[in-house]
Structure 1
Amino acid sequence: MSLEEFVSRTLDLLKEEREAEVEEARSWQQKIPLKELQKRGVCLLKLQPSNQHTGLYGRTIISFEARKVRQKIELPSNCFGPGDIIGLFDPLGEGLSKQLASGVVTKVTTNYVTIAFEESLDALSLPSEGIFHLLKLANDITYKRLKRTLHLLNNFRDGLPSELISVLFGNSQPNKAPSDAETKVRFVNPALDDSQKEAVVFALNQREVAVVHGPPGTGKTTTVVEIILQAVQQGQKILACAPSNIAVDNLAERLSKTGVIALRLGHPARLLAPVQHLSLDAVLARCDSAAIVHDVRSDIDRTYGKLKKVQDRGERARLHSELKILRKELRGREEAAMRNILLHANVVLASNTGACMDGPLHLLQKDHFGLVVLDESGQAIEASCWMPLLYAPKCVLVGDHLQLPPTVLSSRAAAEGLGTSLLERLVKTHGEKVVRMLRVQYRMNDAIGGWASRQMYNGNLHAHPSVAAHLLRDLPGVEDTEDTRLALLLIDTASCGLHETADEEQSKGNPGEVDIVVSHVESLLKAGVKSSDVAVISPYNLQVHLLRQTLSVAHPGLEVKSVDGFQGREKEAVVLSLVRSNRKGEVGFLNDDRRINVAVTRARRHLAVVCDADTVGSHPFLQSLLDQIEAQGETRTAFEYLDIVEEVSFRPNHDQSVSMNKNDRASASMHTKTAVQVGHIKSARDANTFREKDEVKGEELQQLRCKLEGFVVDKLKQRLEFAASLESSGRLWVHRFAEELGLGHGSVGDGNKRFIAVWKLGESSKSDETTTKEETPQSVNNEAAQEKQSDSTEDVTCKLVTKAVRDTTEKAEGVQVDLKALHMERVKRDKARTQEDKEKNRMGARRKKSGKNIAKGCQVDLVGDEDLDSVVEAFVQLDRTCAFPQCKANVSLVGHRCQHCHCTHCLKHRIPEVCAAHQPSIELI
């Protein structure tokens, strides 16, 4: 692509992107009420100015606070932050139609927000005692700077960057420096690995361009610092930039510890605290001319104070003229001081857009810089990179084009190339001619990093021995638990009824996954992991919102962010909630492999993925992650984190996602609201959410049976206990399998701590059997009463199981069991059951009638020798039929469970008047 074609197409796509930003802002202002905007945190209403002073370049700094109807009133919750562009609006206008000025937020507290304006309120003809609205705006400053840069690039013919421009647009090939001019490097940091040293030498010896490809955890910043220090030793002046202020600040902080003279450009409000002393404002305040500049600012503030008190027109005109002169003097003195500071700096740091031609850099000569370094260049749109690139003949691009691309709002602009970074384009165009890859990562356990290496980096990324096997349990103060000894964990919600939801803006959430994430996080914290070492990440903003509601209050140090908000960061443990759960297997923008790569590679020692494996596994890249966890980690079902369903009065259609109104978000983590009333479940932490009542699957039955058969052949074990979290249908199958295998079995404990114990019958297990006989009667006698609290059908089946337990315990003798005998016995039983099918069908009607009597409170004798499966089947059928006499309506999909009789009625018979158990309360009324 030629330079002219690039400029023409990019200008068109930037216009498209700008229109998308404006349309989004317009929809906020016109379609959404002001109070709703304030609830969302993007608007503050009816604020008044509290104090004012003059800042750099004569900017007017004004603090706004709520009207003082009482002392120390706090501002509403908001998402304003330093560096945000804010519009100032007249509340007397219609909505937000009348914008008075715009400025930049410099400070936000609970009581006031401070904004920097280019001019004073008086110059803008604003009332000093007025009331104003503040609204976050789309930033048009960046758009104007990008346009100006592209026009400048298109007209650029001569000068230092001309050869660089030719190479970057493919008109010439990249070149190495002449052999006699190659740099002989003595490394400042001798601890660099071989791939880092190779990248440093390569970057220094390239004539026009070098690309340092740094996958996650490979020490990109360390390599960049070494390149800059080597260039400084050669006497070069360096311009170092990045697309985000945080990336620039991280680099500035590292350079400040090396002894070079570093200067950070940009609005002080956008800088992190550790680099504030490097800012241009701070250095100006410490320079020799600082006292004179301070005096001029004081004169401006004093004159403005007089202007507010004077009413005479002539006097006001004189004061305005004096202010103009003072501001001109202030600008001249500040520019002279800034030029001197810029000339003495070894490294000047700025964001890409902060390195524009109309900023402080215009004070320098065009040939001042010898090298431009662009960090995190894979996240920058190419147009923004050309702002700093026009200052020097050579550039070094550092980043990873296989992580998140530049953020582009317009889908059309992204599809047509605006989201393609310069780094990605150069890698595709020139390949190994300009690229050196860092191959050793110092972050991830090899089980985590190995997957990323194979899937994204052709197997060229290797874990350093110091991190290859590190785990959470190796951290000081962390216990060795079943969670802290794992590098990879999958919590699979498939078939658990934990379906995704959607809000008005089509973001996705999954309240069921929220409860599982919280349970796992609390398990890690209980083991001694610090909350500051744990991150919870989700690709969807709605899920981030739900997670923050639950986690942020209880654990303030724990970070919950989207994938986009966590690039460039790392944590010892990462819990990833993928949200999507639907029968169609739709994964949405989870199909962006780069996004998943970023999410996974934030973890150092432990990665837990919470997802519906059936849904996300429909995407091959995600399936490869699940396969990696299965091979080198542990897979658990969500049933291990959720107790049984207490009440469900509606079973949702799996093909549809449950919709969530944004107004319901505040309570979504505690009560998931759907279009119809649903029951709730208990999670491991007693939070309420929704999941569908499910039958035991074939795989789970096989696991239970294999566990019992393994116990039978293990001569060392005499007793086997199952987790208290085993669901009701699973417990029933354990009873049946134990009976089939000739094992003793019963329930032990009370309430949520009740579990099933299985033991071998015979002389070798007398001690265990004695203990069980002491525990079993109480648990067996109380079992039906405990189960009745959650499900009336389970009440009856547990009674049947209780009798089966008693009969088996009384009759069974010590037996020797082997797997072959078990198989032959099972075949024999299956044949016998086949012969009994006709008998079952004949007796079905009588069982159903007697079963209804039981379900409605009548007492019947417990069945003894009758086949347990047939009885269970009969009572399950009862639970699917309306409990009202003579009504045959099916209530398996739609029904109402009566809180008095605990039976399910159809919608026709759900009214209290038809329920016998409800009649006493009606009569009292």
Structure 2
Amino acid sequence: MAPKHGSQAQPTTAASETLVSFPPCLSARQRAFLHEVAESAGLHHASEGSGEGRFIVIGSRRIGARKVMVAPPASGSFSHTDLCEALSKHLGLDAVDHLPSVSASSARSGRCNVGAAVLNQDEPETVEAFVDLSRRLIDMEREAEIEQANAETSICSPEAAQSRGRALLNLRLDDVEGGLLGRTLLTLVSNKGYGAGGAHAELPPHKLGPHDVVALRPSRGPADGHPLVSGVIYRIRETAIVVAVDETPEDGLDQPLRLDKLANEVTYQRMRGTLDVLLRVRNGTALTPDGRQLPGGSIVDVVFSRREPRLAAAMPVWEPLNRGLDASQRAAVTLALGSQDVALVHGPPGTGKTTAVVEIILQEVARGSRVLAAAASNIAVDNLVERLVRTEPKLKLVRLGHPARLLPQVLDSSLEAHVLRSDNSALARDCRAEIKDINCRLLKLGPRDRAERRALRADLRRLVKEERQRQEAAVVEVIKGARVVCCTLTGAAHRQLESELFDVAVVDEAAQALEAATWSVLLRARRAVLAGDHLQLPPTIVSDEAARMGMARTLFERLQLTLPAASAMLTVQYRMNKAIMQWSSDELYEVCSYATGAKNEPSKFMSYNIDILGWDLSAFIVGNVCWHQMPRATECGCTQGRLTAHDSVAEHTLLDILGAPPVQSTTADRKGGLTSLKAAGGKKAKGKTGKVAAHAVAPKSSGGVQAEPEGPLAVLLLVDTAGCGFEEQQEAEGSSYSNLGEAKAVMVHVKRLVHHGIAAQDIGVITPYNAQVRGLNGLYRIRSLHAKMT
């Protein structure tokens, strides 16, 4: 159940014998174009030199390769046609063939902008073109999400909608209480066993999350019927879900209820509004309600190549608040503090990206800056808030919106908590108590108590209005007093921030953020810092057409190409064994992975057969790795530095947890460094004396020599189940897939790990399909093991 990957273009014969140098006079987009074309052709490409003399080389790195320097045209500047002709002449590359969105005829006639097209099919070069394209893409995505939501709620049966995670059936209203700014919080629990005493039943697995827009309907009514009320999910627990609504419906809540996820219109409205503001910032007409100009114009100019990014004449000298920062993290902080407009922090997995972001924010606050910090998801924002508050407890920070997790340090920083502590909120508390009392009385009224219901609702509206006025004053007071404001990207477009300006905008997880949403943060600050990793998961796009036209292309990704000098990469990872790091680096990251003291030998891979539940599985181990010692960055032309594993994790394995070595008994048949093993007699591999063991016996080699594989137990195991009879199944009503055979194989491994002493809560099982998650959770009573399935 692995994703498919596209194939790369192969370099031509001319390209394998030639190294072409392009002069420094290229624009940022033209440099990005050359890097992209070389990458798609599988050719070496790098920037060399320094400062204004920096130039690009493409082609062969072998000794004796023919070297060609492309001279600038008579005009002194290259056109995209000139670049295409140079690539064709010296490297045998048809650049347009690598850019399917641009026709060969238009490229060769000079009528197209290849530099823009390389970034995306319809990549615009002007703000106006970007806004026009983004509006169309947002509308396409909105229509696709609405269509998907309608299909899953009206066409599918209620049970199928629940199994797909978009609905919860047979709920019961358990409590009603007042929320911030006059909202009402409805607590819903399972109707199963309700009123019988004891704890509430656990809710079924679902995909609902905080801030999702939902509709509440009668459980027995039509799926597409008019909702009793719509609202936003405020809080989720295992046995309850809390929904915030603007006004409680007069009746209908005293029956079994159904909760359906809806398309989030607010998100699309805010993104379109942000695009309008972007145009006004470009024209210098974007003002706050009190008449101040939004300060994001310099960022806009850099992003759309109207000028190059600037650094301070003298880079700042700063004292780290976190003494544990490594050299690459310090370099990233220095770049961010010295940037006059845009800086990028590229953090591969486990390299401490958020640690660097926290240091940047705290350093900015220390030198008097006001910071707007944001991320695409609530989880990412909450993680940032936790880290900031833990590092600097006295930081004047406010978290807008409602935290997705109920951790004390996040709740204490939330806008609601600050408002409740403010002077303006004191009088609102009496209103809230009366509101709660009236809501409780309304729930107890019968159908015939209409007169009393009307009177109570009139009192309720008056109290809600009074409470909202007092709380709005408290909100303004809290936000203006904050030195750091944290929110989601679309949350930055909320009216609560329409009068607020900032010195620095920091976007964490920027490579997972839609560009239109990212601008809602950037336009409110003079400078911007974007942190992320464009080689990990992109934003989730529902519309295939919108994704094809460029909606999935993030601002962080395209700036990595157009502004390489404004980017710093973190190069020490603190998460994984160096063998896993090497594998992911080779597959994804074009950096030099270098292990101190490594042997200059080929990597060794082991292939063997294992017996799981009587199945003969072909498994491939990437481990026992003898390292490739790569040239240093200055030798190979790599501009991104070296990716290394920190000493604390470089050799870390499960054996460090168990404190004992594995027992292995093997024979080997080696062919070109490949070790082939096979399980003896179809017996399951067993451990001894509580140790994790990989016990396998292979056929004798031609020489009949018994041998042990060199090195430690592999840390990365890839199991190929092809030919094992594990058939993939699709849900009867839905697009999710499951594979029972693979699920059983995984659970055998999980149970063995637990049996040998690995704590179940330390084991994670990840699958791309919701149906597979349900299947895994149903096997071998996973819940009793407390293993995490996602």
Residue of 85, 98, 121 corresponding to 2:249: 121
Alignment partner of 2:648: what SS? coil
Where does residue 545 of structure 1 map in the other structure? 774
Residue of 488, 491, 515 corresponding to 2:716: 488
The aligned amino acid for 2:411 is Q
The aligned amino acid for 1:43 is A
Q: Aligned in 2, Cα 1:382/1:111: closer, same or farther, shift over 3 Å?
A: closer
Residue of 143, 146, 161 corresponding to 1:37: 161
Distance 1:410 1:76 in 2: 30
Q: Aligned in 2, Cα 1:479/1:374: closer, same or farther, shift over 3 Å?
A: same
Where does residue 15 of structure 1 map in the other structure? 139
Q: Is the 8 A contact 2:170 2:258 kept in 1?
A: yes
1:471 counterpart = 2:638? no
1:351 counterpart = 2:484? no
Residue of 318, 341, 366 corresponding to 2:478: 341
Distance 1:520 1:91 in 2: 40
Q: Is the 8 A contact 1:217 1:441 kept in 2?
A: yes
Residue 495 of structure 1 deviates from its aligned partner by 4.0
> How is 1:323-402 mapped onto 2 (pairs within 5 angstroms)?
323-358=460-495, 360-362=496-498, 365-367=499-501, 369-402=502-535
1:86 counterpart = 2:315? no
> How is 1:432-831 mapped onto 2 (pairs within 5 angstroms)?
433-458=565-590, 459=592, 460-475=642-657, 480=662, 481-483=692-694, 485-504=713-732, 505-550=734-779, 553=782, 556-561=785-790
The aligned amino acid for 2:643 is L
Q: Aligned in 2, Cα 1:560/1:313: closer, same or farther, shift over 3 Å?
A: closer
Q: Is the 8 A contact 2:215 2:230 kept in 1?
A: yes
Residue of 111, 123, 144 corresponding to 2:269: 144
Distance 1:106 1:113 in 2: 8
Residue 184 of structure 1 deviates from its aligned partner by 1.2
Residue 140 of structure 1 deviates from its aligned partner by 1.7
Where does residue 638 of structure 2 map in the other structure? none
Where does residue 252 of structure 1 map in the other structure? 385
Where does residue 96 of structure 1 map in the other structure? 224
Q: Is the 8 A contact 1:472 1:478 kept in 2?
A: no
Q: Is the 8 A contact 2:358 2:387 kept in 1?
A: yes
Distance 1:531 1:420 in 2: 38
The aligned amino acid for 1:170 is S
Q: Aligned in 2, Cα 1:200/1:218: closer, same or farther, shift over 3 Å?
A: same
Instruction: Render the CA deviation track for 1:256-279: whole Å, top value 9, x for unaligned.
Output: 112222221112456555411211
Distance 1:33 1:61 in 2: 28
Q: Aligned in 2, Cα 1:297/1:385: closer, same or farther, shift over 3 Å?
A: same
Aligned residues: 551
Residue 399 of structure 1 deviates from its aligned partner by 0.4
Where does residue 200 of structure 1 map in the other structure? 333
Q: Aligned in 2, Cα 1:521/1:76: closer, same or farther, shift over 3 Å?
A: closer
Q: Is the 8 A contact 1:38 1:76 kept in 2?
A: no
Q: Aligned in 2, Cα 1:535/1:468: closer, same or farther, shift over 3 Å?
A: same
The aligned amino acid for 1:337 is A
Distance 2:203 2:578 in 1: 46
The aligned amino acid for 2:767 is S
Q: Is the 8 A contact 1:357 1:387 kept in 2?
A: no
Q: Is the 8 A contact 1:249 1:272 kept in 2?
A: no
Alignment partner of 1:99: what SS? coil
Residue 220 of structure 1 deviates from its aligned partner by 0.4
Distance 2:237 2:585 in 1: 44
TM-score where L is the length of structure 1: 0.56
The aligned amino acid for 1:142 is T
Residue 293 of structure 1 deviates from its aligned partner by 1.6
The aligned amino acid for 1:469 is E
Distance 1:238 1:138 in 2: 31
Distance 1:384 1:539 in 2: 25
Distance 1:373 1:294 in 2: 35
Alignment partner of 1:236: what SS? coil
Q: Aligned in 2, Cα 1:385/1:184: closer, same or farther, shift over 3 Å?
A: same
> How is 1:247-286 mapped onto 2 (pairs within 5 angstroms)?
247-259=380-392, 260-268=395-403, 272=407, 274-286=409-421
Runs (5+) with no aligned partner, structure 2: 1-124, 285-292, 593-641, 663-691, 695-711
Q: Which has the larger radius of gyration?
A: 1
Residue 282 of structure 1 deviates from its aligned partner by 1.7
Distance 1:92 1:544 in 2: 28
Residue 92 of structure 1 deviates from its aligned partner by 7.4
Distance 1:303 1:275 in 2: 30
Instruction: Render the CA deviation track for 1:223-263: whole Å, top value 9, x for unaligned.
Output: 11111111011011111111111111111111111222222
TM-score where L is the length of structure 2: 0.65
Residue of 305, 308, 313 corresponding to 1:173: 308
Q: Aligned in 2, Cα 1:489/1:93: closer, same or farther, shift over 3 Å?
A: closer
Residue 336 of structure 1 deviates from its aligned partner by 2.0
Alignment partner of 1:349: what SS? strand
1:163 counterpart = 2:298? yes
Q: Aligned in 2, Cα 1:121/1:270: closer, same or farther, shift over 3 Å?
A: farther
Q: Is the 8 A contact 1:90 1:96 kept in 2?
A: no
- Root-mean-square deviation (CA), in Å? 2.9
Q: Is the 8 A contact 1:293 1:333 kept in 2?
A: yes
Aligned sequence identity (%) = 39
Where does residue 4 of structure 1 map in the other structure? 128
1:408 counterpart = 2:560? no
Residue 109 of structure 1 deviates from its aligned partner by 5.6
Alignment partner of 1:134: what SS? strand
Distance 2:253 2:749 in 1: 54
The aligned amino acid for 1:361 is L
1:60 counterpart = 2:181? no
Instruction: Render the CA deviation track for 1:836-865: whole Å, top value 9, x for unaligned.
Output: xxxxxxxxxxxxxxxxxxxxxxxxxxxxxx
Greater mean alpha carbon deviation, residues 412-421 or residues 107-116: 107-116
Residue of 210, 215, 219 corresponding to 2:343: 210
Distance 1:128 1:548 in 2: 32
Distance 1:202 1:151 in 2: 31
Residue 222 of structure 1 deviates from its aligned partner by 0.9
Instruction: Render the CA deviation track for 1:452-507: whole Å, top value 9, x for unaligned.
Output: 22332222312123322222111255664335932122334344344444444454
Alignment partner of 2:143: what SS? helix
Q: Which has the higher contact order (CA 8 A, sep 6+)?
A: 2
Residue 525 of structure 1 deviates from its aligned partner by 2.2
Distance 2:735 2:475 in 1: 48
Distance 1:227 1:95 in 2: 49
Instruction: Render the CA deviation track for 1:46-89: whole Å, top value 9, x for unaligned.
Output: 55544322111111122345398862574762524544322022
Runs (5+) with no aligned partner, structure 1: 562-925
Q: Is the 8 A contact 1:479 1:527 kept in 2?
A: no
Residue 341 of structure 1 deviates from its aligned partner by 1.8
1:154 counterpart = 2:383? no
Q: Aligned in 2, Cα 1:448/1:234: closer, same or farther, shift over 3 Å?
A: same
The aligned amino acid for 2:267 is T
